Amino acid sequence: MALILVVDDDQGMRDYLEIMLSREGYDVSTAPGGKEALAFCRKHKVDLVITDLKMSGMNGVDLLKSLKDMSPETMTILITGYASGETALAAMEEGAYDYLEKNFEPDDLKKLVGDALRNKGACEENARFIRDVKRSDSFAKMMGRSKGMLKVYTLIKKMADTVANVLILGESGTGKELVARAIHENSARKNGPFVVINCGGIPENLLESELFGYMRGSFSGAYADKAGLFEMADKGTIFLDEIGELSPFLQVKLLRVVQEKTFRRLGGSTDIHVDVRIISATNRNLAERVKTGGFREDLFYRLNVIPVKAPSLRERKEDIPLLANFFIEKYARQYGREIKKISPYALALLVEYPFPGNVRELENIIERSVALETGNIILPENLGISAAADTSQNFGDDPEIPDAGVDLNESVAKFERSLLEKALEKAGGSKTKAAKLLNISLDSLRYRFDKLGMTEKE
């Protein structure tokens, strides 16, 4: 049972929160001020502190600072009647999970408390997970604990020690090369070479010589014999990325290597035998290309002995907080920043964003945010993604643009404000219900209200 400490110099507010949260099944204690709260926290392991911002003596932000030194794992929510963007920023920069205005709805507080406690557990688990990843190379820096990723890990372990060829399927940016490296590093070949080549990034005439090598004098500029990548990968693994881009000519050449493990260098007359495991990857539908004649059926089945699906980030949204925190730590260290976390509002936007570029795009967003952020917490405005990116509504079936043009930002803001107002009205003033009507999180709804300068009365 989670232990919550309510801190407020108003006896009525302390009693109200204690009764409400106790009914939700939490173990609740109260304190009339910051000094009493710190004394309580020295004796007990408190999961969450809910504190008023304005109190006589020690205020909420000062209490928060002291708590972070004493018990950094304790989550904190501030309650204030003086809410502003500056207040929220100052509190969250000091490590607060979030804040609420004093005229909050009970459902909003219950939701926020639940989110904070879940986030506390997730943060602790994520920290352990990241430490484990850093200590181990067995999964080649792959990250994620979603069902889709757990299936990938399980499959990697099952087939890593076989010699069967593997075809990794997935959209661009899903980490197909990381999957290939993990297969190699979990196999008996882990001490052998791991050779990578992008089949879509090299012209056909050069790709042949890169894969199979060439003999001196086989073409203009071939002044010496050169081993190809298949020879270099002997006793190891070769990873053929973008295999779907191979020309029909090279598909025939590759088929022989897959079937017989032999080939000849360009201009050579001697067969070269190699012991190589072939892992290939594609973001294209090879089965469809086989049907249309764009890819050889016999080669497809030879490569696709064990198919592995690298899930898109849209299919593993629960991994976004873990990945975001990992990239924050990585780029904060690289850029010499003191950034420690991402604000709940910013994280809510990331979770709702469709990520057409998958994990690669998330990493790019976090790197840019870390580079631009001047504080110690990443805020929504530095993500560089549209706050309205997740909405499926249109401004009209066929909006007209006058000759004088339009202010896109103003038009989007007006449309967003209109939707928020209508949703809040339909929900009878409940932000929780309004968020459900708009299919967004409560955190995202509150961020939009703050961004547009709207108040609850609006």
Q: Are residues 126 and 271 in the same domain?
A: no
Instruction: Write the pLDDT tens digit of every residue in 230-289.
Output: 999 999 999 999 999 999 999 999 999 999 999 999 888 899 999 999 999 999 999 999
**How many domains is the chain partitioned into structurally?**
4
pLDDT of residue 359: 93
User: Helix (H) and strand (E) counts for the chain?
Assistant: 18, 16
Give residue 167's Cα distance to chain centre. 24
pTM above 0.75, yes or no: no
Which helix H or strand E contains 40, and what residues bound it? Answer: helix 34-43
The CATH code of the domain that includes 438 is 1.10.10
Look at the chain and count its residues.
458
Instruction: Write the pLDDT tens digit of every residue in 373-384.
Output: 888 888 887 887
Could you tell me what percent of the chain has a pLDDT over 90? 43
Q: Are residues 269 and 368 in the same domain?
A: no
Is residue 252 domain-resident?
Answer: yes
What domain range is 287 assigned to?
Answer: 147-310
pLDDT of residue 393: 41
CB 109 within 8 A of CB 101: no
Domain boundary among 105, 130, 155: 130
Q: Are residues 238 and 318 in the same domain?
A: no
Is residue 241 domain-resident?
Answer: yes
Question: Strand 226-227 vs strand 166-169: parallel, antiparallel, or unpaired?
Answer: unpaired
pLDDT of residue 402: 67
Residues whose CB is less than 8 angstroms from the CB of residue 110 and which lie 6 or more positions away in sequence, other chains included: 20, 24
Is residue 389 domain-resident?
Answer: no
pLDDT of residue 395: 46
Extract the residue ranges of the chain whose pLDDT is less than 50.
83-85, 134, 136-137, 387-397, 457-458
The CA distance from 89 to 102, in Å, is 17
Question: Strand 272-273 vs strand 262-263: parallel, antiparallel, or unpaired?
Answer: antiparallel
The CATH code of the domain that includes 111 is 3.40.50.2300
The CA distance from 317 to 353, in Å, is 9
Q: Are residues 94 and 235 in the same domain?
A: no
Q: Which two tokens stand for residue 448?
A: 């939009």
The CA distance from 58 to 46, in Å, is 19
Q: Are residues 302 and 363 in the same domain?
A: no
pLDDT of residue 147: 82
Q: Are residues 412 and 291 in the same domain?
A: no
Cα 257 to Cα 233, 277, 298, 404: the distances in Å are 13, 11, 13, 63
CA torsion, ordered 131, 136, 140, 146, to nearest 10 deg: -50
Amino acid at 272: I
pLDDT of residue 128: 60
Q: Are residues 102 and 20 in the same domain?
A: yes
pLDDT of residue 140: 53
Is residue 156 domain-resident?
Answer: yes
Q: Which two tokens stand for residue 243?
A: 């295999």
